[in-house]
Amino acid sequence: MGEVDAGTPSFEMTWSSTTSSGYCSQEDSDSELEQYFTARTSLVRRPRRDQDEPVEWDIPDLSQAEIEQKVKEYNGQINSNLFMSLNKDGSYTGFIKVQLKLVRPVSVPSSKKAPTLQDARRGPARGPAVRRRTSFYLPKDAVKHLHVLSRTRAREVIEALLRKFLVVDDPRKFALFERAERHGQVYLRKLSDDEQPLRLRLLAGPSEKALSFVLKENDSGEVNWDAFSMPELHNFLRILQREEEEHLRQILQKYSFCRQKIQEALHACPLG
């Protein structure tokens, strides 16, 4: 395993799901000629059941000798060829596995078909800026093995993944989480931009129950509207209007039904 440049993490990617990407597009009437698809997207936050419990825990600092010992122990525990390797400068390289759990579609430059894994390996095409976009759903629970440096940051992992799949959405829309199973409970923690996923992998060991990485939408409670383009914002306004109309229809239907039942009860009552 050769040494990897710090600025450009290399990636080995595999799919764990054969589910269709759900490629979809919808013609947008805006003058910027962009295409978006927003099915299954809602601006109303709904409570989620069986939600992972967030948790915080301390991350110890390791000396160079402790790192070398940890790498040796790690390589002795894995049952594959995804080893960690020490570099002459004291850093180390290795593999992390990231599971994609994205609910909403992602945006890519418009083409006749959604980008394939081969497109991702070739990297983004060089050329003039593309103003026309198409959105599609990534395969559910897709898994990718990433070959990274110990100093590769969580934000760099997210940005590199988006580039590989030609995703043009703002990286701030996504976040990398670490997931752990302890005593029958599942814990989830959002990584800060500067945290180093491979370092966390080394500390936790190769067990997926002890630690795994998940890419999700960056739902922090407050929507960062500045991260969206103008066509997306117009689309959200249309979604908001449809949801408002649907809520009004349901409320009117509820009161109409109640009024009808009361009137039926009044007619059924004997006079006097």
For 193-238, the pLDDT digits (tens) are 999 999 999 999 999 999 999 999 987 656 667 777 888 788 888 8
Taking only the tens place, the pLDDT of each residue in 109-159 is 876 455 555 555 555 555 445 457 777 788 877 888 889 999 999 999 999
Ranges 23-37, 40-54, 134-148, 153-167, most confident: 153-167
Tell me how far apart the alpha carbons of residues 178 and 219 are, in angstroms, rounded to a whole number: 15
Q: Please indicate, yes or no, whether residues 181 and 197 belong to a single structural domain of this protein.
A: yes
Bridge partner list, 107: 135
Task: Say if 100 falls within a structural domain.
Answer: yes
Q: Please indicate, yes or no, whether residues 213 and 147 belong to a single structural domain of this protein.
A: yes
Average pLDDT, stretch 58-81? 89
Q: Please indicate, yes or no, whether residues 239 and 155 belong to a single structural domain of this protein.
A: no
Looking at residue 42, what is its pLDDT?
Answer: 46
Q: Please indicate, yes or no, whether residues 197 and 260 belong to a single structural domain of this protein.
A: no
- For the cut 60, the answer to whether the pLDDT of residue 35 exceeds it is no
With beta carbons less than 8 A apart as the criterion, state whether 132 and 61 touch.
Answer: no
Task: Say if 9 falls within a structural domain.
Answer: no
Q: Please indicate, yes or no, whether residues 159 and 209 belong to a single structural domain of this protein.
A: yes
Looking at residue 67, what is its pLDDT?
Answer: 93
How many structural domains does the chain have?
2
Token output for 34: 């962009």
Q: Please indicate, yes or no, whether residues 152 and 237 belong to a single structural domain of this protein.
A: no
Q: Please indicate, yes or no, whether residues 161 and 69 belong to a single structural domain of this protein.
A: yes
With beta carbons less than 8 A apart as the criterion, state whether 139 and 23 touch.
Answer: no
Q: Please indicate, yes or no, whether residues 164 and 261 belong to a single structural domain of this protein.
A: no
Task: Say if 88 falls within a structural domain.
Answer: yes
* Number of residues that make up the chain: 272
Q: Which of 67, 74, 69 is nearest to 91 (CA)?
A: 67
Average pLDDT, stretch 32-52? 43
**Phi/psi zone of residue 166: left (φ > 0), alpha (ψ -120 to 50 degrees), beta?**
left
Q: Please indicate, yes or no, whether residues 156 and 247 belong to a single structural domain of this protein.
A: no
The model's pTM is: 0.58
- For the cut 70, the answer to whether the pLDDT of residue 97 exceeds it is yes
- For the cut 90, the answer to whether the pLDDT of residue 50 exceeds it is no
| Domain hosting residue 75, numbered range | 64-106+132-221
Residue 254: pLDDT band (50, 70, 90) is very high
